[in-house]
Structures are given as C-alpha cells and as structure tokens.
C-alpha cells in the first residue's frame, strides 16, 4: 500500500494556475522532501493534501484511501505540522494536545497515555504543564510534532517546519523526523532548504507549479552539490 | 467515548477557557447593555410612552421593556465576537487544526456554535443578575423558562457569526461588516421600541423590523421571561438558524477555498 500518491492534480487561483498536473508517489516508510523555491506551489499542494482546499482534477491517496471519496478515513491517517505555528499560546502543552486528541476522537486515559508517549518521544514530557507561550520556537515545533503523532498517523506532512528556528533546533527536528521515517512513517517534508535533505531521501522538485524531477536526492544531484543543482534547475542564482 | 461527544466537549471547553482568559471581553459584554439600561433608558423613559402589550399585563417602565432586547444585544455582540475569533483563528492558522480533523466539518462548525452559544447564555444570565440587583426583575419562573429561548437565540446569532466568518477574508474588513450587521439588526428590531411604535413612523421600516430575525429572537426571549411561548418567534428564529447554519457550512466547503488561503 502506497504511503502517499498524488496523480494529475492541478489547481488555480482564479485564472492563475498554481499547480499543473502534479503527480508523484511517496512509498511507505520514506522521507520525501518536497523541494521548491518560494511560490513554487508547495503550500497550495499542502492545502490540497490536507483537504483545506479541494480540486476536481486529479486524485490524492493517503495510505491507500482516496481523499475525495473517503475524506474522513484518509484524514484519520494523516499527521500534519503546518508552516505557521498552530498552538494555542494561552493553553499548556498538555491542554493543546488534549484538545487535538479530542478532535481525533481520543479521550480519557487512552488520550493521556498517547500524550505522555508522544511528548516523551520528543523530550517534551517535563514541559507538558507549561503554557505554549513560554516555550521557545524549537520547543513549540517539537510540541506540534508530538501533537501530529498523537493519532498514530501513517503519513506525516510537514510544511516548512523549521522556518524561524536556529541551527541546533533545525538539526534536531530534521534528524528526528528522518528517524521517524526509518521507523515506518511516510513523511512528506516541504522545504526550500537543501541542507535538510539527506542523500538517500526521496525528492520531488516543484517549481512554478510543476514537478520538475522525482527520485532520490543522490540521483537528482549526481556529482553536483544539491544546492547547486537546485539553483540550476530552478534558474535562480545566489546573490 | 463517542468521538462526536468527545470533540463537542473539547471545543466547548476550549471556548469557555478562552472566554475566561479574556476578562475584558466579559466586562465589555456587560458594560455595554448596562449603559443602555442605566443611561439610555433613563433618558428615554419620558420620551417613549408604552401601552400594555403582550406578554406584559400591566403598564411597565421603559427599563423593563428593554431588558429582553438588551439580552439579545449581549448575544448579538457575542455572536459577532465569536465570528471575529474565527477570522482571527483562520488568519493565525489555528482554524486549520480544526478543519483537518477526521470528523465531519459540519459537526466541527456546530461544536464551535455550541461553544459560542454557551458563552452567550452565561453572559445573559450575568446581565440578568445585575439588572435584578438594580431592581428590574421578571417573575422567578421566567429565569428558568428563558433558558431554552436563550439557547435558540444564541444558536441563531452564533450561526450568523459563523456565516460571516466564512465569507469575511480579513480581519480589517470585519469592522465594516459589524457596522453593517450589528447596528441595523439591533435598531431595526423590537429591542428598543415595540413594532407598533415603528409602524406609526414608517410602514416600510416596520416591515423590515417584522422580518428581522433579531426581532423574533428578542420576542422569543421577552415572552419566555414572562413564562410564555411565542410560537411564531420560535419558528422564525429556528428557521433563521437553519438557513444561517446551512450557508455557513457551505462557506466553509473546501471547494470554495474560503477556508485557507495560501500560506
């Protein structure tokens, strides 16, 4: 069963096409980087994958479930970390996670157990009683990843999750999510930062709403550095 | 536990928690109608003569007349306030969390509506307690009988707020919408003056007041406070609730792309 499959998806804002016939597959237990410069259509694609938007063209399958035909089942297999932080800053970390657990139908002892487990995995258990406002950016992101893992999703979507974080926090979160993929999660990680991508990762290069390349990062860049290859493919030049 | 019940509890609890944390919102919600009651009503008492109209069985003071209208005002402002919160949530991204839940979207919106209604009802009871402290009271049974009426009115006005939040794109646009919704709804209703008074001045305005759902919400509350059921007002208010909710659910349909814009 495929982790995530997108086929023939297009999307337009009025007359402006944001995505054109986008197709790619992310196999199970794979870290796939959705690489693209700003304005490539990554966030639009994420909005479609999370059903915040919908489009009549193409097909999206999450853990084998058609998002259009069976949206609720498909969404129940999805963990999401949005680009903008979505923690309620006036609630504690635990309250934030409890609220999210309830939105996924988890309550009582079962929810508490899952919350403890997920926070522990992200080294956040000791901070569960703190208000989200008091956490730094890295810890807030960790709390959001713990939250995304609560319903035990098969597919994890992260939309530029390291934006605004310092180098250490970026490294910690990037490594942790790579480990999750090794443990069986299917990960789609949107980014424009090539240093977050490892050679064995799958890669989808999105540029101007089209998929320009798919494959492993190693096969994509060949002898070149990934960043140079990326700049070459997208026609951008460093300042 | 059933996931529908779990989500309802969580959303209502969170709305309540949020409200408690915003003490100034609670104060504003009470000060506004009290100003109308203690200042506006005092000034207008002499200007407006009221005859005996149902549900009242005797002559009443103007302060007594406008209490149900001010209960409606509390709910109207709260409905708009919750709508504003929804637009803010959408701009800040936290709305995405709600809408990507595997539960049906209509249910999640309904839960939000229930949360807003619960807060509205609590505010109205706080207002009624203060009016009682000033000596403006209704029959004791009325305080119980009004509860279902408040819930129905709160749902209708909350659904209106939900509907507006689905169509309003940015926070900056919200002030204008509030002016175009709150003030016309409030002034073109029976909250401040009975409809026959309006008919004496303008048949056209009277016709608008008569179809204004806020008028019916106020009349539902007014009759319930005196232990009576105004069936027509209940029917109108329920009908408006269903229509507003249906349009609100449509406005949050992902194919409209109104829920989340490019991030």
- Residue A173 pLDDT greater than 70, yes or no: yes
Tell me the chain B residues in contact with residue A102 when contact means C-beta distances shorter than 8 Å. 6-7, 9-11
Give the distance from residue A220's alpha carbon to the nearest chain B alpha carbon, in angstroms.
27
Q: How much is the pLDDT for B52?
A: 67
- With CB atoms and an 8 Å threshold, state whether A54 touches B254: yes
Closest chain A residue to the Cα of B94, Cα to Cα: A86
- Using an 8 Å Cβ cutoff, are A87 and A132 in contact? yes
| Higher per-residue confidence, B111 vs B53 | B111
- The residues on A that touch B, with CB distances below 8 Å, are 13, 18, 43-44, 46-47, 50-56, 72-73, 75-76, 78, 80, 82-88, 90-91, 95, 98-100, 102-108, 159
Count CB atoms within 10 A of the CB of residue A138: 17
Please choose, from the candidates B56, B203, B26, B252, the residue with its C-alpha nearest in 3D space to the C-alpha of residue A53.
Answer: B252
**DSSP 3-state assignment of B121?**
helix
Instruction: Give the position of tokens 């009271």.
Output: B137
Q: What is the mean pLDDT of residues A72-84?
A: 92
SS3 readout for A45-88: HHHHHCCCCCCCCCEEEECCEECCCCHHHHHHCEEEECCCCCCC
Say what the pTM is. 0.85
Confidence of residue B258 (pLDDT cuts 50, 70, 90): very low
B53 is written with which tokens? 């109209």
**DSSP 3-state assignment of B22?**
coil
- Using an 8 Å Cβ cutoff, are A201 and A217 in contact? yes
| Higher per-residue confidence, B56 vs B156 | B156
- Residue A76 pLDDT greater than 50, yes or no: yes
Distance of alpha carbon A169 from alpha carbon A104, whole angstroms: 28
Give the distance from residue A61's alpha carbon to the nearest chain B alpha carbon, in angstroms.
15
- With CB atoms and an 8 Å threshold, state whether B254 touches A83: no
Give the distance from residue A80's alpha carbon to the nearest chain B alpha carbon, in angstroms.
9
- Residue B49 pLDDT greater than 70, yes or no: no
Distance of alpha carbon A80 from alpha carbon A145, whole angstroms: 8
- Using an 8 Å Cβ cutoff, are A86 and B97 in contact? yes
- Residue B17 pLDDT greater than 70, yes or no: yes
- Using an 8 Å Cβ cutoff, are A209 and A22 in contact? yes
Alpha-carbon Rg of chain B, whole angstroms? Answer: 19
- With CB atoms and an 8 Å threshold, state whether A90 touches B14: no
Tell me the chain A residues in contact with residue B99 when contact means C-beta distances shorter than 8 Å. 51-52
Lowest mean pLDDT among A180-184, B83-87, B97-101, B181-185: B83-87
Tell me the chain A residues in contact with residue B16 when contact means C-beta distances shorter than 8 Å. none
Alpha helices by DSSP H, chain B: 3-21, 23-35, 41-44, 62-92, 94-99, 105-133, 140-167, 174-187, 195-201, 203-211, 213-225, 231-251
List of domains in chain A: 1-77+155-239 (3.40.50.300), 88-152 (no CATH)
B239 is written with which tokens? 């009908």
Q: What is the mean pLDDT of residues B191-208?
A: 84
Lowest mean pLDDT among A233-237, B1-5, B9-13: A233-237
Q: How much is the pLDDT for B47?
A: 63
Q: How much is the pLDDT for B82?
A: 83
Percent above pLDDT 70 for chain A: 97
B2 is written with which tokens? 């059933």
Tell me the chain B residues in contact with residue A88 when contact means C-beta distances shorter than 8 Å. 14, 18, 94
- With CB atoms and an 8 Å threshold, state whether B7 touches A83: no
- With CB atoms and an 8 Å threshold, state whether B6 touches A106: yes
Please choose, from the candidates A145, A135, A223, the residue with its C-alpha nearest in 3D space to the C-alpha of residue A180.
Answer: A145
- With CB atoms and an 8 Å threshold, state whether B17 touches A91: yes
Give the distance from residue A91's alpha carbon to the nearest chain B alpha carbon, in angstroms.
9
Q: What is the mean pLDDT of residues A156-170?
A: 87
Please choose, from the candidates A157, A158, A162, the residue with its C-alpha nearest in 3D space to the C-alpha of residue A195.
Answer: A162
| Closest by Cβ to A72, choosing from B6, B97, B102 | B102
Alpha helices by DSSP H, chain A: 42-49, 71-76, 93-103, 108-121, 137-149, 167-182, 217-221, 226-234
Tell me the chain B residues in contact with residue A84 when contact means C-beta distances shorter than 8 Å. 92-93, 263
Strand pairing class (A202-207; A59-62): unpaired
Distance of alpha carbon A62 from alpha carbon A73, whole angstroms: 9
Q: How much is the pLDDT for A8?
A: 94
Q: How much is the pLDDT for B128?
A: 95
Please choose, from the candidates A150, A143, A88, A145, the residue with its C-alpha nearest in 3D space to the C-alpha of residue A115.
Answer: A150
| Closest by Cβ to B100, choosing from A13, A56, A75 | A75
Tell me the chain A residues in contact with residue B169 when contact means C-beta distances shorter than 8 Å. none
Confidence of residue B91 (pLDDT cuts 50, 70, 90): confident
Alpha-carbon Rg of chain A, whole angstroms? Answer: 18
Q: What is the mean pLDDT of residues A153-180?
A: 89
| Closest by Cβ to A82, choosing from B14, B96, B108 | B96
- Residue A111 pLDDT greater than 80, yes or no: yes
Strand pairing class (A4-13; A16-26): antiparallel
Q: What is the DSSP letter of B99?
A: H
- With CB atoms and an 8 Å threshold, state whether A86 touches B94: yes
Q: How many Cβ contacts (< 8 angstroms) between chains A and B?
A: 99
Tell me the chain A residues in contact with residue B6 when contact means C-beta distances shorter than 8 Å. 102, 105-107
Q: How much is the pLDDT for B220?
A: 96
- With CB atoms and an 8 Å threshold, state whether A82 touches B93: yes
- With CB atoms and an 8 Å threshold, state whether A75 touches B102: yes
Confidence of residue B196 (pLDDT cuts 50, 70, 90): confident
pLDDT tens column, A195-231: 899 989 999 999 999 999 999 988 888 778 878 888 8
Phi then psi dihedrals of residue A235, to 5 deg: 70, 15
Tell me the chain A residues in contact with residue B257 when contact means C-beta distances shorter than 8 Å. 13, 53
Q: How much is the pLDDT for B29?
A: 80
Instruction: Give the position of tokens 């406008």.
Output: B66
- Using an 8 Å Cβ cutoff, are A146 and B46 in contact? no
- Residue B259 pLDDT greater than 60, yes or no: no
Closest chain B residue to the Cα of A50, Cα to Cα: B100
- Using an 8 Å Cβ cutoff, are B15 and B118 in contact? yes
Q: How much is the pLDDT for B261?
A: 40
Percent above pLDDT 90 for chain A: 59
Q: How much is the pLDDT for B46?
A: 65
Q: What is the mean pLDDT of chain A?
A: 90
| Closest by Cβ to B92, choosing from A56, A76, A84 | A84
Q: What is the mean pLDDT of residues A105-117?
A: 91
Tell me the chain B residues in contact with residue A145 when contact means C-beta distances shorter than 8 Å. none
């Amino acid at each position: 069963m495929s982790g995530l499959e997108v086929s023939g998806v297009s999307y337009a804002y009025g007359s402006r096409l944001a995505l054109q016939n986008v197709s790619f597959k992310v196999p199970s237990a794979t870290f796939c980087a959705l690489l693209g410069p700003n304005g490539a259509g990554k966030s639009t694609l994420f909005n479609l994958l999370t059903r915040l938007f919908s489009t009549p063209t193409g097909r999206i399958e999450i853990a084998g479930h058609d998002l259009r035909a069976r949206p609720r089942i498909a969404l129940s297999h999805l963990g999401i970390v949005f680009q903008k932080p979505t923690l309620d800053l006036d609630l504690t970390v635990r309250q934030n996670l409890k609220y999210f657990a309830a939105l996924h139908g988890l309550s009582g002892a079962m929810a508490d157990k899952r919350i403890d487990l997920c926070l522990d995995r992200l080294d956040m258990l000791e901070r569960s009683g703190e208000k989200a406002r008091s956490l730094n950016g890295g810890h807030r992101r960790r709390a959001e990843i713990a939250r995304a893992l609560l319903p035990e999703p098969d597919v994890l979507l992260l939309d530029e999750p390291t934006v605004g974080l310092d180098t250490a926090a970026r490294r910690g979160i990037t490594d942790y999510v790579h480990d999750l993929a090794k443990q069986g999660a299917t990960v789609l990680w949107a980014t424009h930062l090539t240093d977050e991508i490892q050679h064995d990762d799958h890669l989808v290069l999105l540029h101007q709403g089209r998929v320009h390349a798919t494959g492993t990062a190693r096969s994509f860049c060949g002898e070149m550095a990934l960043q140079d290859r990326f700049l070459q493919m997208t026609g951008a030049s460093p300042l | 536990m059933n996931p529908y019940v779990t989500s309802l509890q969580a959303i209502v609890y969170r709305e309540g928690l949020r409200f408690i944390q915003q003490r100034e919102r609670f104060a504003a919600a009470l000060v506004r109608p009290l100003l109308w009651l203690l200042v506006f009503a005092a000034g207008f008492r002499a200007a407006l003569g009221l005859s005996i109209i149902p549900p009242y069985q005797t002559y009443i003071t103007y302060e007594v007349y406008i209490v149900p209208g001010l209960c409606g005002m509390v709910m109207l402002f709260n409905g708009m306030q919750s709508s504003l919160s929804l637009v803010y949530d959408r701009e800040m991204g936290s709305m995405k969390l709600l809408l990507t839940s595997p539960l049906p979207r209509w249910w999640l919106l309904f839960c939000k509506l229930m949360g807003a209604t619960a807060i509205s009802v609590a505010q109205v009871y706080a207002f009624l307690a203060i009016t009682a402290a000033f000596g403006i009271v209704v029959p004791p049974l009325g305080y119980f009988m009004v509860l279902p009426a408040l819930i129905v009115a709160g749902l209708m006005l909350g659904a209106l707020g939900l509907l507006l939040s689905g169509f309003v794109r940015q926070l900056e646009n919200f002030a204008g919408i509030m002016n175009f919704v709150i003030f016309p709804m409030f002034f073109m209703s029976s909250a401040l003056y009975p409809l026959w008074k309006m008919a004496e001045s303008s048949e056209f305005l009277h016709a608008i007041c008569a179809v204004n759902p806020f008028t019916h919400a106020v009349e539902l509350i007014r009759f319930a406070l005196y232990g009576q059921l105004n069936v027509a007002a209940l029917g109108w208010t329920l009908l408006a609730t269903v229509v507003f909710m249906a349009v609100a659910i449509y406005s949050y349909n992902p194919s409209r792309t109104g829920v989340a814009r490019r991030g």
